[in-house]
Amino acid sequence: MTLPMFLLLASALFSVGLYGALSQQAVVMVMMGLELMINGVTVAAAALWWFLAPQQPDGQVLVLVVIAAMTVEMAMGFAVVTLLFRSSDADMTDMAGELRG
């Protein structure tokens, strides 16, 4: 594959994630949209590093760090959503907005 194809894939992932994050009401779906956006940026960064400096492992290490951070972020996000649902039966973004004090 060529660099423009990878960038097209990354922009498609980011666009679908942006649409999902802005159009959904369920908190889990908004989180999935944000995750797709981060994946699009990660694919673009990895492709740029692969095509611009393939001998240097800096880009690969950064991609692995970003994936590990995304894993922790999603686990914490799902934990917060689960706690929110158990405590006040709120699973939509407008229900969670009413919890601000």
pLDDT tens sequence across 50-80: 898 888 888 788 889 989 999 998 899 888 8
- In this prediction, residue 34 carries a pLDDT of 92
DSSP string, 64-97: HHHHHHHHHHHHHHHHHHHHHHHHH---BHHHHH
Query: 13: pLDDT confidence band, cut at 50, 70 and 90?
Result: very high
Lowest-pLDDT choice from 25-29, 34-38, 91-95: 91-95
Give the domain 3-97 fold. Helix Hairpins (1.10.287)
pTM value is 0.81
Domain ranges of the chain: 3-97
- In this prediction, residue 20 carries a pLDDT of 93
